[in-house]
């Protein structure tokens, strides 16, 4: 503990024995006793020290006590120092009056009573100490006030010159203080800024979000930082970042909130410019990638279209130039037919993709048994597998129920997967096809996409959490798997395997043909059937597995509902005696159709224009009309319109079938609404055309399905 400083007491007497006596009496006070043997010496002591009290002898040679007191009172520093006169003589009223007039506080007679002297000195010592303490406190208060004024001035200067707005609110959110920058950002005057909350300056479109976030902040008591648009009274809009923190007392009591508003409009504009630049760069990169992909696709398309044409045209010229033996002729015709079918499939794929892009690919749905569909697809691809000595293994569960779908499109799914597997499997390889019932959750049930692994076979925590939220009941699916021992799929290309126009190798040295459309079409068809498809491969050279899952119809377990028959030979003359009128402006098509109908026993008349067709109709009454749509001068719509305007006895009700290269769904609907009974797309499959004629004329034929 720090000791209290000693107080000075001045003792003035010309006799040493008196000084010693006084020191003996006052020594127990523990204060600093200062001697002086004359008035002059006393005055010298007062030059350098302050005293709590002065004990002054009156009778001294030279300068007496009264003269010394007069000089003490004339000095500013000692003007109010208490003086106690000491005297050995009886005091008259005149002496007392003179002493008190000079500022004496008391008069004591010698010999002195120690107790009285001590008590009187103690009073003035304590008074001096308290006075000094008050002076010290006053000095400290002056220093604090000075520092406070400087601090207030500094805060006022900082607040006024601050580049960010500053506000203080009470616990209810009412403004208690705002600085000039705050007022400028909000577009308010000083008085107005205290009447409104900052939330009222937020743009109307952002205000609901601002109120919600501020309310949550007040409830949680955390630090606050959000960005909003502010709309001033002058209708100017600025982006502002609002920050705030709670103000707490030393006891932790909430006093209000202090916050800042920072105008970040320039930063936001710079971010928008940067984002726009990034968007433009991204768009440019995507456009460049799309152009590269388009160029690659066009190059591949040109290659894929020209390759079969080379074989077809080559064999055609050979057949025209020389007479070949039966074996060579058969080989030539097989090559022409095979390449024509390949080219037709390319065109169909392109048209399907076009329909998919436009959202116009439609399904003709019914209950379908997948066994028939898969058997038909397998029969169709066997000619592709045999030359490569690829073993086709099948494990088809006949108890799998029916699905609700389009049998033609379902067969296309299986056919595409099989041809893809055969194409990428080397000679002597193996392709396995499985059909089974799958119990589980489909990927599409939870919006996870066709390329994702099924939930039941995934061990990720995310999927585990997702499964925990799903009811325990599982759905039933028909599962089709095509497994090959081919070249496999690299991990880099696997995520892109279902994208349109994507091929792992699009260079001129690629070892496998195709446009890269088949799997994209398959995925779209699977999704149209509310199913999912998954591609799996351990990597290059490890083969690949494609798994399709389609929802099973309920209560159809084990049903074998046939949806068609495998192509079978047709009677050699199924159209015997029929009169057919063929209208097409392409002479090769006319000649082919005429030859085909005559081969099947019909009488064919072929013309190249609408006028010629109407002239034939006036002379003869054909049993059926086969007409092209896209013809020069007058098209097939003009023909059917003029035909249907005739009276029934003049041929107005003759059944008509449209043969056309316009294959869109809207084209089919337009053809039927115009008055044709059926719409068939070119190139024409003879079996399909004969089946269509039999259907239109209600002939008792077994219609082949291909």
Q: Quick one: how far is CA 417 from the chain centroid?
A: 34
Q: What pLDDT is attached to residue 90?
A: 60
Q: What is the mean pLDDT of residues 438-459?
A: 47
User: Going by DSSP bridges, is the β-strand pair 430-440/475-484 parallel, antiparallel, or unpaired?
Assistant: antiparallel
Ranking 337-341, 443-447, 495-499 by mean pLDDT, the lowest is: 443-447
Q: Is residue 630 classed as helix, strand or coil in its secondary structure?
A: coil
The count of C-alpha atoms lying within 13 angstroms of the C-alpha of 677, restricted to the half-sphere facing its C-beta, is 17
> Is the pLDDT higher at 190 or at 276?
276
Give 209's DSSP letter.
Answer: H
CA distance 412 to 175: 72
Is the predicted pLDDT of residue 213 greater than 80, yes or no?
yes
Beta bridge partners of residue 367, listed in sequence order: 404
Q: CA-based angle 674:679:680, to the nearest 5?
A: 155
Longest dimension (CA), the chain: 178
Q: Is residue 539 classed as helix, strand or coil in its secondary structure?
A: coil
Output the CA torsion 669→672→673→675 (10° steps).
160
| DSSP run (H or E) holding 289 | helix 265-321
CA distance 40 to 439: 122
Q: What is the mean pLDDT of residues 255-265?
A: 87
Task: Quick: pLDDT tens for 269-285.
Answer: 998 999 999 999 989 88
Q: Comparing C-alpha atoms, which of 295, 224, 314, 293 is closest to residue 260?
A: 224
Is the predicted pLDDT of residue 457 greater than 60, yes or no?
no
Ranking 109-123, 342-356, 357-371, 457-471 by mean pLDDT, the lowest is: 457-471
Confidence of residue 463 (pLDDT cuts 50, 70, 90): very low
| CA distances, 642 to each of 194, 584, 623 (Å) | 85, 16, 17
Q: Answer yes or no: are the C-beta atoms of 563 and 368 closer than 8 Å.
A: yes
The count of C-alpha atoms lying within 13 angstroms of the C-alpha of 574, restricted to the half-sphere facing its C-beta, is 22
Rg (alpha carbons) of the chain, rounded to whole number? 56
Beta bridge partners of residue 349, listed in sequence order: none
> Is the pLDDT higher at 139 or at 703?
139
| CA distances, 428 to each of 418, 420, 431, 536, 706 (Å) | 16, 16, 10, 22, 28
Q: What is the mean pLDDT of residues 398-424?
A: 89
The proportion of the chain whose per-residue pLDDT surpasses 70, expressed as a percent, equals: 84
301: phi then psi, degrees, rounded to nearest 5: -60, -45
CA distance 421 to 417: 6
Give 616's DSSP letter.
Answer: H
DSSP string, 46-101: HHH---SEEEEES--SSS-HHHHHHHHHHSSTTTT--EEEEESSPPPHHHHHHHHH
| CA distances, 23 to each of 60, 65, 128 (Å) | 19, 19, 19
Report the sign of the C-alpha dihedral through residues 186, 187, 190, 192, in that order.
negative
Q: What pLDDT is attached to residue 351?
A: 75
Q: Answer yes or no: are the C-beta atoms of 475 and 523 closer than 8 Å.
A: no
Q: Is residue 332 classed as helix, strand or coil in its secondary structure?
A: helix
User: Going by DSSP bridges, is the β-strand pair 8-12/224-231 parallel, antiparallel, or unpaired?
Assistant: unpaired
CA distance 366 to 408: 11
Beta bridge partners of residue 129, listed in sequence order: none
Is the predicted pLDDT of residue 160 greater than 50, yes or no?
yes
Length of the chain, in residues:
706
Confidence of residue 459 (pLDDT cuts 50, 70, 90): very low
pTM metric for this prediction? 0.43
Is the predicted pLDDT of residue 368 greater than 70, yes or no?
yes
Task: Quick: pLDDT tens for 378-389.
Answer: 988 888 888 889
The 10 Å Cβ neighbour count of residue 390 is 22
Q: Is residue 640 classed as helix, strand or coil in its secondary structure?
A: helix
Q: Comparing C-alpha atoms, which of 587, 612, 588, 592 is closest to residue 604?
A: 592
CA distance 550 to 566: 23
Q: What is the mean pLDDT of residues 49-62?
A: 88
Confidence of residue 468 (pLDDT cuts 50, 70, 90): very low
The 10 Å Cβ neighbour count of residue 329 is 14
| CA distances, 15 to each of 5, 53, 152 (Å) | 29, 20, 61
Mean pLDDT for all residues in the chain: 80
Ranking 450-464, 477-491, 608-622 by mean pLDDT, the lowest is: 450-464
CA distance 317 to 653: 43
Is the predicted pLDDT of residue 452 greater than 60, yes or no?
no
Ranking 182-191, 460-469, 510-519, 544-553 by mean pLDDT, the lowest is: 460-469
Q: What pLDDT is attached to residue 274?
A: 92
Taking each helix axis from N to C terminus, what angle separates 326-358 and 265-321, rounded to the nearest 10 degrees? 160
Confidence of residue 474 (pLDDT cuts 50, 70, 90): low
Beta bridge partners of residue 430, listed in sequence order: 391
Is the predicted pLDDT of residue 645 greater than 70, yes or no?
yes
Give 322's DSSP letter.
Answer: S
Confidence of residue 504 (pLDDT cuts 50, 70, 90): very low
Is the predicted pLDDT of residue 224 greater than 70, yes or no?
yes
The 10 Å Cβ neighbour count of residue 348 is 16
DSSP string, 489-517: --TTTGGGTTSTT--S--STT-SS---S-
CA distance 510 to 612: 51
The count of C-alpha atoms lying within 13 angstroms of the C-alpha of 683, restricted to the half-sphere facing its C-beta, is 14
Q: Answer yes or no: are the C-beta atoms of 459 and 509 closer than 8 Å.
A: no
Q: CA-based angle 633:636:639, to the nearest 5?
A: 90
CA distance 254 to 213: 19
Ranking 132-141, 340-349, 600-609, 668-677 by mean pLDDT, the lowest is: 340-349
The 10 Å Cβ neighbour count of residue 371 is 19
Strand order in the sheet with 83-87: 32-36, 8-12, 53-57, 83-87, 104-109
Q: Is residue 246 classed as helix, strand or coil in its secondary structure?
A: strand
Q: Is residue 167 classed as helix, strand or coil in its secondary structure?
A: strand
Task: Quick: pLDDT tens for 91-100.
Answer: 667 777 777 7
């Amino acid at each position: 503990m720090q000791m209290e400083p000693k107080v000075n007491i001045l003792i003035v007497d010309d006799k040493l024995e008196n000084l010693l006596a006084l020191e003996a009496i006052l020594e127990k006070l523990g204060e600093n006793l200062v001697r002086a043997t004359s008035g002059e010496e006393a005055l010298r002591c007062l030059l350098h020290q302050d005293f709590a009290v002065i004990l002054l002898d009156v009778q001294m040679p030279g300068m007496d006590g009264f003269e010394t007191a007069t000089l003490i009172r004339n000095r500013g520093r000692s003007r109010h120092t208490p003086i106690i006169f000491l005297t050995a003589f009886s005091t008259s009223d005149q002496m007392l009056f003179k002493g008190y007039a000079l500022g004496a506080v008391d008069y004591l007679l010698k010999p002195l009573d120690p107790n009285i002297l001590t008590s009187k000195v103690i009073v003035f010592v304590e008074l001096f100490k308290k006075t000094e303490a008050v002076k010290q406190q006053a000095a400290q208060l002056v220093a604090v006030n000075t520092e406070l004024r400087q601090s207030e001035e500094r805060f006022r200067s900082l607040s006024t010159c601050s580049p960010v707005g500053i506000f203080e609110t009470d616990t209810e959110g009412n403004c208690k203080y705002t600085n000039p920058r705050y007022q400028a950002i909000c577009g308010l005057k000083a008085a107005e800024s205290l009447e409104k909350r900052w939330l009222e300056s937020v743009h109307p479109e952002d205000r609901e979000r601002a109120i919600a976030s501020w309310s949550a902040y007040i409830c949680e008591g955390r630090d606050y930082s959000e960005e909003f648009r502010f709309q001033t009274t002058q209708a100017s809009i600025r982006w502002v970042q609002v920050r705030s923190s709670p103000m707490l007392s030393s006891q932790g009591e909430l006093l209000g909130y202090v916050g800042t508003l920072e105008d970040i409009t320039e930063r936001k504009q710079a971010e928008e410019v940067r984002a726009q630049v990034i968007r433009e760069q991204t768009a440019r990169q995507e456009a460049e990638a799309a152009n590269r992909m388009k160029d690659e696709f066009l190059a591949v398309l040109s290659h894929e279209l020209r390759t079969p044409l080379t074989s077809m045209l080559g064999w055609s010229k050979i057949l025209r130039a020389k007479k070949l033996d039966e074996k060579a002729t058969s080989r030539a015709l097989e090559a022409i037919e095979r390449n024509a079918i390949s080219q037709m499939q390319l065109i169909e794929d392109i048209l399907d993709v076009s329909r998919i892009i436009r959202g116009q690919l439609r399904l003709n749905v019914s209950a379908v048994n997948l066994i028939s569909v898969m058997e038909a697809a397998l029969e169709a691809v066997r000619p592709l597998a045999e030359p490569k000595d690829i073993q086709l293994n099948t494990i088809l569960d006949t108890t799998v129920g029916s699905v609700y779908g389009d049998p033609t499109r379902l067969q296309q799914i299986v056919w595409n997967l099989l041809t893809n597997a055969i194409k990428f499997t080397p000679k002597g390889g193996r392709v396995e096809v499985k059909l089974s019932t799958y119990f589980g959750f489909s990927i599409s049930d939870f919006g996870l996409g066709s390329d994702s692994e099924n939930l039941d076979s995934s061990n990720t925590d995310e999927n585990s959490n997702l499964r925990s939220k799903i009811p325990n009941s599982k759905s039933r699916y028909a599962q089709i798997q095509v497994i090959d021992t081919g070249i496999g799929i690299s991990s880099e290309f696997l995520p892109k395997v279902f994208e349109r126009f994507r091929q792992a190798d699009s260079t001129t040295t690629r070892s496998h043909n195709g446009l890269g459309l088949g799997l994209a079409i398959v995925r779209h068809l699977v999704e149209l059937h509310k199913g999912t498809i998954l591609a799996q491969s351990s990597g290059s050279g490890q083969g690949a597995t494609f798994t399709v899952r389609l929802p099973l119809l309920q209560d159809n377990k084990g049903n074998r509902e046939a949806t068609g028959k495998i192509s079978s030979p047709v009677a050699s003359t199924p159209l015997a005696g029929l009169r057919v009128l063929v209208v097409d402006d392409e002479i090769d098509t006319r000649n082919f159709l005429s030859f085909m109908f005559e081969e099947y026993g019909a009488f064919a008349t072929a013309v190249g224009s609408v006028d010629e067709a109407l002239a034939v109709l006036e002379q003869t009454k054909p049993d059926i009309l086969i007409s092209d749509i896209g013809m020069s001068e007058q098209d097939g719509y003009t023909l059917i319109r003029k035909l249907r305007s005739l009276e029934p006895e003049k041929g107005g009700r003759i059944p008509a079938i449209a043969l056309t290269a316009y294959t869109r769904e809207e084209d089919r609907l337009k053809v039927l609404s115009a008055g044709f009974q059926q719409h068939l797309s070119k190139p024409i499959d003879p079996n399909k055309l004969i089946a269509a004629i039999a259907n239109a004329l209600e002939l008792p034929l077994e219609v082949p399905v291909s």
